Amino acid sequence: MAEAGIQAVVDELCGRLGITWVPRKIVWTDTYESGWTKNGPGLVDVPSDHPVIREDKVMLAESMKGKLGPEEWRPLLAASLIYYRMLDSKKFREITTRLGVLVSLVALWLLFLWLTIGPPQQAPGPYILSGIASATAVVVGGTLWSIRYLKGIWLLADEMASDIIGRENLLETLQKISRLKITELSESGPFADKPSLSQRIRNLEG
């Protein structure tokens, strides 16, 4: 079975990378749960070129079933294992640090208002406007920065995987996926936290 071959590659890569939390299930699926909405868990597409790793599962796009052999999956799995297992703490630290900076700037601005115009009871207008503007800046700015940062981390994972698996091997697999013309493979939008297939290819070619 293809799953057994892919699992063997996952096991071998985890050994080479020093990853102790080894995923034990290969799952073919179109979507996975990520975050929450008012209607329940949010569903996110599994991109054809991005194996998604959650807990003990490696999730592969249903559209890619039978399209690649276990060895062709190797470079993609290496990049995903690096991204989800080895760089996870780096992502958390960097994002929380940057968001902390944004919140600190808001706090400093509110302190400045307090020192210059007095407490909110005396002049509520500037505080209300500042609160709305600050909340918008933190949410929008923090989201856009986080998305851009996560895309960069994905490309870093590609570079690290290239050092282990070989740049040409990763590039050949990505180019093969590109030739398959799978409909869901489109350019990465401004709110996508993963680089598009063409962005990954350009980064490796450059």
Q: In tens digits, what is the pLDDT along the chain, a chain of 206 residues?
A: 689 999 999 999 999 999 999 999 999 998 888 755 555 567 888 889 999 999 899 999 998 999 999 999 999 999 999 999 998 777 677 767 777 777 777 777 777 767 777 777 666 777 677 667 767 766 776 677 778 888 999 999 999 999 999 999 999 999 999 998 775 555 555 667 789 899 999 999 97
Count of CB atoms situated within 10 Å of the CB of 78:
28
Return the SS3 of 195.
coil
Does residue 96 lie within any of the structural domains? no
Does residue 26 lie within any of the structural domains? yes
Does residue 138 lie within any of the structural domains? no
Helical spans, DSSP H, in 38-123: 70-81, 88-117
Does residue 97 lie within any of the structural domains? no
From CA 58, how far away is CA 23, in angstroms rounded?
A: 6
Please state the pTM of the whole predicted model.
0.76
Does residue 124 lie within any of the structural domains? no
Q: Which domain holds residue 64?
A: 2-90+144-205
Does residue 115 lie within any of the structural domains? no
Does residue 20 lie within any of the structural domains? yes
- Give me 108's structure tokens: 């400093």
- Give me 191's structure tokens: 């709110």
25-29 β-sheet, strand order: 25-29, 57-61, 52-54
How many folded domains does the chain comprise?
A: 1
